[in-house]
């Protein structure tokens, strides 16, 4: 009669126990790395859509509205309509739009103080335009109206737009600093960056993800081989399911690469949008310069000294092109935010651990009470 065997304490038994916990730890590591990769992509997509990217778009839109308002006001003065209707309805509408856009930028930008400075300068600018209207209303040929239009133009181009451009560059550089955003070779507003340069943080996050998933695969394969040799079993079904679940974790996290591609697409579309707005602004500034020259000539006030007149204006894109670029930014960032599921990765990780514990428990218990 054989006595009941004592619990085995051999090195092989301890190896199985350690291997079980190593598999659990590797699964937790793979899930953490996968969640991190996907979370970084989702966070950066939200920043491009509603954070720093929204600030870049808002600054560019406010810039365009202010230039459009100024051009409309100068056209009104040049045509003589200002003596009756003031700077005009277009001027009032564009100023209102610019004020609203600056308010939106203040909510999304890190440079809130800079936005407040711009808002104060806009109020001063509006006062100068109103003063020009007062003089024209009193005397349609008063040269002081030209002078105040010039003062307003110099304030707009020499102070307001300079502040807005500095804020836009700062926000653009903030966006360039996102881990998943690839620096453009020819940034439309920021300093040129190296073409195709991957951010070191992006490399670190994805290297961590790849290595952790490979470690899990390697341990699962080693465990299958060990069990096959020790227990003369070809495959362990729970561990085989755990391997399949690990593959699913890797695939789910791999969607972060797709999200990163969407973010880069949004980044480039945003660059196209900003460059297009600047070209439109240059064309309108040329129109405004022609209007103030016409106004000055009509009043015989001499050559106007107005800053901000471009020597040559680039061909401005049509409104449809700008709308399409803005739509691409929105579509790409929303697609990036919706790519992959962190909750699914966590669920797959929990199921993987369950299969590992189930598969290893049978082998450990079998070895523990196995006669020596």
Q: What is the pLDDT of residue 289?
A: 67
Q: What is the pLDDT of residue 191?
A: 41
Asked whether residue 3 is domain-assigned, the answer is no
Asked whether residue 5 is domain-assigned, the answer is no
Asked whether residue 185 is domain-assigned, the answer is yes
Nearest to 26 by CA among 195, 241, 192, 223: 223
Q: What is the pLDDT of residue 189?
A: 55
Q: What is the pLDDT of residue 100?
A: 93
Cβ neighbours of residue 162 closer than 8 Å, sequence gap 6 or more:
none
Structural domain that includes position 248:
11-368
Total domains in the fold of the chain: 1
Give the separation between CA 118 and CA 161, rounded to whole angstroms: 9
Give the separation between CA 17 and CA 126, rounded to whole angstroms: 77
CA atoms within 13 A on the CB side of 320: 0
Q: What is the pLDDT of residue 310?
A: 56
- For 302-327, letters b (16+ CB in 10 Å) and e give eebebebbeeebeebbeeeebeebbe
The alpha carbon dihedral of 193, 198, 204, 209 has a sign of: positive
Over the chain (372 residues), the average pLDDT of each successive run of 10 is 47 78 93 88 81 84 90 83 81 93 85 86 93 83 81 88 87 71 52 50 82 91 81 76 90 79 79 80 70 61 52 63 80 81 91 90 65 50
User: What DSSP string describes 16-44?
Assistant: HHHHHHHHHHHHHHHHHHHHHHHHHHHHH
**E strand spans, 42-122:** none
Nearest to 306 by CA among 158, 173, 184: 158
308 sits in the region (left: phi over 0; alpha: psi -120 to 50; else beta) called left
Asked whether residue 43 is domain-assigned, the answer is yes
Asked whether residue 2 is domain-assigned, the answer is no
Cβ neighbours of residue 194 closer than 8 Å, sequence gap 6 or more:
183, 185
Q: What is the pLDDT of residue 50?
A: 76
Cβ–Cβ < 8 Å for 352, 29: no
Which two tokens mark 173? 């550089």
Asked whether residue 1 is domain-assigned, the answer is no
139 three-state secondary structure: coil
Nearest to 30 by CA among 208, 226, 282, 231: 208
Cα dihedral 99, 101, 107, 108, rounded to 10, equals -150
Asked whether residue 254 is domain-assigned, the answer is yes
Which two tokens mark 218? 């390697």
Q: What is the pLDDT of residue 74?
A: 84
Give the separation between CA 213 and CA 204, rounded to whole angstroms: 14
Asked whether residue 99 is domain-assigned, the answer is yes
Cβ neighbours of residue 313 closer than 8 Å, sequence gap 6 or more:
279, 282, 283, 285, 286
Instruction: Report how far Cα 25 is from the mean position of its chain's Cα atoms.
Output: 34
Q: What is the pLDDT of residue 196?
A: 47
Q: What is the pLDDT of residue 351?
A: 94
Cβ neighbours of residue 200 closer than 8 Å, sequence gap 6 or more:
none
The length of the chain in residues reads 372
Q: What is the pLDDT of residue 155?
A: 92
């Amino acid at each position: 009669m054989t006595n009941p065997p004592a619990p085995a304490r051999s090195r092989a038994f301890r190896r199985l126990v350690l291997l079980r916990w190593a598999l659990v730890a590797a699964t937790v590591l793979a899930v953490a790395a996968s969640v991190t990769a996907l979370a970084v992509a989702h966070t950066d997509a939200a920043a491009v859509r509603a954070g720093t990217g929204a600030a870049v778009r808002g600054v560019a839109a406010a810039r365009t509205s202010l230039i459009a308002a100024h051009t409309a006001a100068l056209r009104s003065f040049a045509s003589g309509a200002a003596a009756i209707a003031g700077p005009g309805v277009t001027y009032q509408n564009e100023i209102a739009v610019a004020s609203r856009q600056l308010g939106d930028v203040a909510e999304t930008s890190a440079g809130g103080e800079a936005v407040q400075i711009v808002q104060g300068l806009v109020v001063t600018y509006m006062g100068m335009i109103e003063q020009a209207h007062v003089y024209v209303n009193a005397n349609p040929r008063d040269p002081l109206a030209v002078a105040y239009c010039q003062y307003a133009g110099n304030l707009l181009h020499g102070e307001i737009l300079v502040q807005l451009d500095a804020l836009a560059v700062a926000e653009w550089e903030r966006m360039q600093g996102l881990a998943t955003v690839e620096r453009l070779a020819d940034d439309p507003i920021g300093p040129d960056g190296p073409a195709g340069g991957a951010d070191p943080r992006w490399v670190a996050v994805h290297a961590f993800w790849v290595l952790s998933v490979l470690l899990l695969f390697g341990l699962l394969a080693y465990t299958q081989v060990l069990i096959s040799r020790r227990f003369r079993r070809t495959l362990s079904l729970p561990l085989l399911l755990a391997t399949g679940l690990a593959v699913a974790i890797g695939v789910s996290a791999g969607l972060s690469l797709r999200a990163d591609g969407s973010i880069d697409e949004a980044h480039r579309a945003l660059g196209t949008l900003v460059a297009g707005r600047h070209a439109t602004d240059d064309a309108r500034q040329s129109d405004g310069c022609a209007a103030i020259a016409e106004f000055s000539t009509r009043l015989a006030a001499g050559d106007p000294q107005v800053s901000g007149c471009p020597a040559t204006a680039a061909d401005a894109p049509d409104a449809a092109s700008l709308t399409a670029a803005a739509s691409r930014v929105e579509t790409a960032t929303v697609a990036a935010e919706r790519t992959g599921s962190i909750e699914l990765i966590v669920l797959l990780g929990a199921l993987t651990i369950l299969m590992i514990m189930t598969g290893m428990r049978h082998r450990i218990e079998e070895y523990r009470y196995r006669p020596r």
